[in-house]
Copies of this chain bind each other. A is one copy, B any other.
């Protein structure tokens, strides 16, 4: 999927909702595509600023709901209280182990769990859009250290 391609997808999404594809939204989208891995709003804004193109922080905040709804990014759990995001394309879904001692984050994916989640949704007539699962505890290093 090329960058142009993603832009036109986002453009289409906006168009469908009667919204405009503005230069600011283009800049934000480009910044996101240039970030690999998790990022906070402040990270995103830093990327935008250093790319010489200055736009308002308020605009970044206003754009995030569109990026979520447009399927450009998803929320991911973060060690602190802040909300983190990652671009969806190129980042396969996964869940997290979070060490409460050292802050380490371990990604994992378990197909059986994913299947059961769907089954649970079915049994409740619930139409899932996505999920987040975080297991907190001690990583191997911290567990042995505490012993």
Contacts and interface: CB of A to CB of B under 8 A. Distances in A.
Given A110-B116, A116-B110, A137 B132 contact: no
Interface residues of A, number: 33
Contact of A128 (B81, B83, B136): B136
Contacts of A120: 97, 108, 110, 113, 135
A97 B126 contact: yes
A131 B133 contact: yes
- The 10 A-B pairs at the shortest CB distance, nearest first, are namely A125-B140, A128-B137, A133-B133, A131-B135, A127-B143, A127-B138, A129-B137, A113-B116, A127-B137, A97-B126
Given A108-B120, A126-B139, 10 more contacts: A81-B83, A97-B120, A97-B124, A97-B128, A110-B116, A121-B135, A126-B140, A130-B136, A130-B137, A132-B136
